């Protein structure tokens, strides 16, 4: 398949998944608007319907809560019932400041929108409608960051915690296994529920039923505390200072600071948050033995000692020192030399690596996009080229899927990717990478 054909197919998919105001991640499996998906999707809109990017972000922010939180799902339809958990299961009316029109979930996801906004602004620097949009949404994006610093950082470290694995965007990563194991599941009190995802995607590529019980347990815990109460920090067995989320928060802070300075908007609070976050991220999350940044388990007060994809986002957020960046680059080159596509989502040498199952090993398109950006920033253009070419090779051979096999020898036996097909952020990242010079 030629790159021109890839670009055309990517645009077709984004048009197919457009719902007159927002984009679904994929047609059947995820029938609503997802938080960080919609940010990446705007990268694609920018190439053929730039106004859609404005509508996409406005739709997402129409779900913002009074506390600033952008929920991880915006249920633009109240009658669509093909996804679990639906808006009624979340029952966000427990929080008086929760947005009810549209209905939403009660947790959040990685805050990519600040840096996406900067990417869009760079493409349309003199477009009046676009500048007006950026000025109008700027305080809302800042408020969404304020949510993390106010409600998710009780010790005022500059590092936000997450309590639901869905918030990390890497739902069933082995990173969370130890925290999840602390949850005591009592089937007699866990509400009855029916999964919909395994009717639409291969069971072996999705989280297990035991993991889903834990997702539901944590949802109920959040609900008991109105989704933003102090009791979450006191009670939750899962308290994660996630690399990916905090790196993305830092990256977006920096973008908002630059946007604010250019447009004459207030950046005082952002600068304070940023100084503290960068310092804490560097001091608390680097692990010299593993030569990577690690997540931190706030309940256990210890680093979560695994090599995985989140640590690499310190590159796109420009947090890594030159020496740390060299080590991350070596790690990727080693994987490449050993016959893996870049970048597997979990340590391929760990017994918990599972090349098929969701966030326990496969390649994820939006992560490749972030890592490509980071590698370019540090001048590792040869590795960035591998990341891009691996990704485009997978798409060409296997289609625009949600995630992909990481082992080249196994991938060679497959004619399609994993999870949902005709995926939005996959298409958007393809379009954007195709437009990069190298
Ligand atoms: C739960 C939409 C989302 C992504 C997440 C990915 C997956 C949802 C699910 O799909 O999670 O949020 O039902 O499995 O893990 O990162 O935003 O694409």
Separation of CA 2 from chain center: 29
pLDDT reported for residue 437:
78
Percentage of residues in the chain having pLDDT higher than 70: 100
Best residue among 17, 25, 30, 209 to mutate for probing ligand 1, ranked by most atoms within 8 Å of CB = 30
CA distance 230 to 234: 7
Q: Is the pLDDT of residue 3 over 80?
A: no
Alpha helices in 225-358 (DSSP H): 231-235, 243-263, 268-285, 313-316, 322-337
186-209 burial, b at 16+ Cβ within 10 Å, e below that, comes to eeeeeeeeebbbbebbeeebbbee
Q: Whose CA is nearest to atom 8 of ligand 1?
A: 166
Kindly report, residue by residue over 210-240, the tens digit of the pLDDT: 999 999 999 999 999 999 999 999 999 999 9
From 9, 171, 390, 432, the catalytic residue: 171
Sign of CA dihedral 164, 278, 311, 363: positive
CA distance 191 to 210: 14
User: Does the predicted TM-score (pTM) go above 0.95?
Assistant: yes
To which H or E segment does residue 241 belong?
strand 240-241
Kindly report, residue by residue over 11-59, the tens digit of the pLDDT: 999 999 999 999 999 999 999 999 999 999 999 999 999 999 999 999 9
CA distance 310 to 292: 10
Q: Is 171 a catalytic residue?
A: yes
Give φ, ψ of 134 to 5 degrees.
Answer: -60, -40
166 CA closest ligand 1 atom index: 12
Best residue among 74, 106, 171, 420 to mutate for probing ligand 1, ranked by most atoms within 8 Å of CB = 171
Ligand 1 pocket by Cβ (under 6 Å): 25, 30, 34, 36-37, 72, 166, 169, 171, 197
pLDDT reported for residue 419:
95
Kindly report, residue by residue over 303-336, the tens digit of the pLDDT: 999 999 999 999 999 999 999 999 999 999 999 9
Quick one: 114 exposed, middle or buried, by C-beta within 10 A (0-12, 13-18, 19+)? buried
Q: Ligand 1 centre from 364 Cα, in Å?
A: 11
Rg (CA), the chain: 20
* Residue showing tokens 């925290």: 179
Q: Ligand 1 centre from 226 Cα, in Å?
A: 22
CA distance 308 to 242: 11
Q: Ligand 1 centre from 25 Cα, in Å?
A: 9
């Amino acid at each position: 398949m030629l790159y021109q054909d890839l670009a055309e197919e990517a645009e077709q998919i984004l048009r197919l998944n457009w719902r007159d105001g927002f984009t679904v991640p994929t047609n059947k499996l995820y029938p609503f608007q997802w938080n960080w998906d919609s940010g990446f999707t705007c990268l694609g809109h920018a190439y053929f319907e730039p106004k859609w990017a404005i509508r996409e972000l406005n739709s997402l922010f129409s779900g913002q809560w009074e506390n600033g939180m952008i929920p991880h799902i915006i249920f633009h339809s109240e009658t669509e019932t093909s996804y679990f958990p639906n808006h009624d299961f979340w029952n966000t009316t427990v929080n008086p400041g929760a947005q009810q029109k549209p209905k939403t979930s009660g947790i959040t996801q990685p805050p990519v929108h600040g840096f996406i906004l900067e990417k869009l602004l760079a493409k349309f620097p003199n477009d009046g409608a676009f500048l007006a949009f950026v000025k109008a949404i700027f305080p809302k994006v800042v408020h969404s960051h304020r949510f993390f610093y106010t409600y998710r950082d009780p010790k005022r470290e500059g590092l936000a915690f997450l309590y639901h694995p869905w918030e990390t965007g890497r739902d069933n990563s082995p990173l969370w296994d130890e925290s999840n194991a602390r949850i005591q599941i009592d089937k007699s009190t866990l509400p009855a529920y029916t999964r919909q995802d395994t009717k639409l995607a291969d069971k072996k590529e999705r989280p297990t039923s035991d993991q889903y019980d834990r997702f539901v347990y944590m949802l109920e815990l959040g609900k008991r505390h109105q989704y933003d109460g102090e009791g979450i920090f006191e009670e939750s067995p899962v308290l994660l200072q996630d690399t990916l989320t905090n790196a993305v928060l830092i990256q977006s802070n920096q973008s908002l600071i630059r946007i604010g300075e250019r447009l004459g908007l207030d950046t005082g609070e952002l600068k304070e948050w940023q100084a503290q976050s960068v310092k804490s991220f560097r001091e608390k999350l680097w692990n010299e033995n593993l030569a990577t940044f690690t997540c931190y388990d706030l309940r256990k007060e210890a680093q979560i000692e695994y090599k995985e994809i989140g640590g690499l986002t310190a590159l796109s957020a420009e947090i890594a020192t030159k020496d740390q960046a060299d080590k991350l680059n070596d790690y990727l080159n080693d994987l490449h030399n050993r016959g893996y596509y870049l970048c597997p989502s979990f340590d391929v040498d760990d017994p918990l690596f599972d090349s098929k199952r969701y966030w326990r090993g496969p390649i994820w398109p939006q992560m490749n996009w972030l890592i490509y950006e980071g590698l370019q920033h540090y001048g590792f253009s040869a590795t960035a080229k591998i990341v891009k070419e691996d990704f485009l090779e997978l798409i060409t051979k296997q289609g625009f899927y949600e995630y992909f096999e990481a082992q080249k020898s196994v991938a060679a036996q497959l004619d399609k990717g994993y999870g949902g097909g005709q995926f939005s952020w996959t298409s958007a990242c393809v379009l954007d990478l195709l437009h990069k010079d190298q």
